């Protein structure tokens, strides 16, 4: 049974008509970057809760989650409508194994996301660990339309801070947009365009993380297996660590 803390909305930033970020003030929650908490609201006398990854840096004053409005989803619709000062329940404990301490390898870290799956990577990239462990870090964010490329100023700051070690590629699949890649991630892995674009190759010392749409995760994993990479399991370490969002 979850133990609930009382949180208050500090900011509800709407990026598009379906994407939003909730910043909440709440008592300190200890977590490792990449983990998730549950958010809950009481709806018609019933507490409805769902897990959401934390986007903020561990140790920061407020917590932040990046969410999408789910068609027919009761909770995401209510959360999207919240205003500063409104109450949200937050699970006392964070959970999950989609963290860098579960990842092996040290050459290049490939962080591949679709949609809101970019959230946990933004938290990881605020910590020292990836920058100390990996020679190169590639953040790849696949969305259908340009307007869904959230958190661009945070990403630009990382590019300024780590101009050699860090690469970001936006992937926009349903609009032709200069400066972005235009095919789905598995295609970009299969046809070599991703590696070409980043001037890097997948090898046994690479670490790949996949987060977001479960079909994207499954298709990328299949493509990476074709390249000789293996799924990372606690009982059998491999190069590819996955988190499915639904
Ligand atoms: P999405 O459909 O996951 O698309 C995001 C990106 O992933 C797009 O570039 C898309 O390419 C690509 N993609 C989709 N399937 C792929 C595959 N099999 N292989 C490789 N790339 C793939 O968009 P989203 O907005 O994040 O989520 C879609 C829907 O899922 C939303 O309506 C949302 O409400 C619902 N949903 C989300 C959650 C959640 O927790 N995030 C939970 C439940 C339901 P294309 O443009 O080519 O499709």
pLDDT tens for the chain, 246 residues: list them.
679 999 999 999 999 999 999 999 999 999 999 999 999 999 999 999 999 999 999 999 999 999 999 999 999 999 999 999 999 999 999 999 999 999 998 899 999 999 999 999 999 999 999 999 999 999 999 999 999 999 999 999 999 999 999 999 999 999 999 999 999 999 999 999 999 999 999 999 999 999 999 999 999 999 999 999 999 999 999 999 999 999
Pocket of ligand 1 (CB under 6 A): 68-71, 114-116, 142-144, 173-174, 184-186, 212-213, 215-216, 219, 245-246
So what's the pLDDT on residue 106?
86
Closest C-alpha residue for ligand 1 atom 14: 216
Distance from chain centroid for Cα 131: 17
How many CA atoms lie less than 13 Å away from 49 in the CB half-sphere?
Answer: 16
Cβ–Cβ < 8 Å for 210, 112: yes
Closest C-alpha residue for ligand 1 atom 37: 70
So what's the pLDDT on residue 135?
96
Q: What sections of the chain are H helices per DSSP?
A: 74-80, 119-124, 129-133, 152-161, 185-190, 193-198, 214-226
So what's the pLDDT on residue 1?
64
* Atom number of ligand 1 nearest to Cα 185: 20
User: d(Cα 23, Cα 34) in Å, to the nearest integer?
Assistant: 17
So what's the pLDDT on residue 65?
98
Distance 115 CA to ligand 1 centre (A): 6
So what's the pLDDT on residue 2?
73
So what's the pLDDT on residue 180?
98
Q: Does pTM surpass 0.95?
A: yes
User: β-strands 46-53, 36-43: how paired?
Assistant: antiparallel
CB crowding 218-236: b at 16 or more within 10 Å, else e: ebbbebbeebebebbeeee
């Amino acid at each position: 049974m979850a133990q609930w803390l009382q949180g208050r909305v500090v900011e509800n930033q709407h990026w598009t008509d379906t994407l939003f970020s909730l910043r909440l003030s709440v008592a300190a929650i200890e977590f490792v970057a990449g983990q998730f908490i549950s958010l809950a609201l009481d709806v018609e006398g019933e507490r409805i809760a769902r897990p959401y990854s934390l986007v903020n840096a561990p140790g920061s004053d407020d917590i932040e989650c990046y969410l999408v409005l789910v068609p027919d989803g009761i909770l995401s619709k209510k959360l999207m409508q919240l205003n500063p000062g409104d109450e949200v329940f937050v699970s006392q404990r964070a959970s999950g194994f989609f963290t860098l301490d579960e990842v092996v390898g040290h050459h290049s870290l490939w962080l591949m996301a679709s949609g809101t799956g970019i959230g946990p990577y933004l938290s990881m990239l605020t910590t020292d660990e990836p920058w100390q462990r990996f020679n190169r870090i590639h953040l790849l964010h696949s969305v259908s339309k340009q307007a869904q490329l959230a958190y661009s100023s945070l990403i630009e700051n990382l590019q300024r801070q780590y101009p050699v070690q860090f690469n970001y590629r936006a992937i926009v699949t349903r609009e032709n947009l200069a400066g972005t890649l235009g095919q789905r991630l598995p295609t970009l892995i299969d046809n070599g365009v991703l590696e070409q674009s980043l001037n890097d190759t997948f090898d046994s010392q690479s670490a790949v993380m996949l987060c977001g749409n479960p079909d994207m995760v499954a298709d990328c994993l299949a493509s990476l297996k074709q390249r000789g990479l293996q799924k990372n399991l606690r009982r059998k370490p491999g190069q590819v660590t996955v988190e499915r969002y639904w």
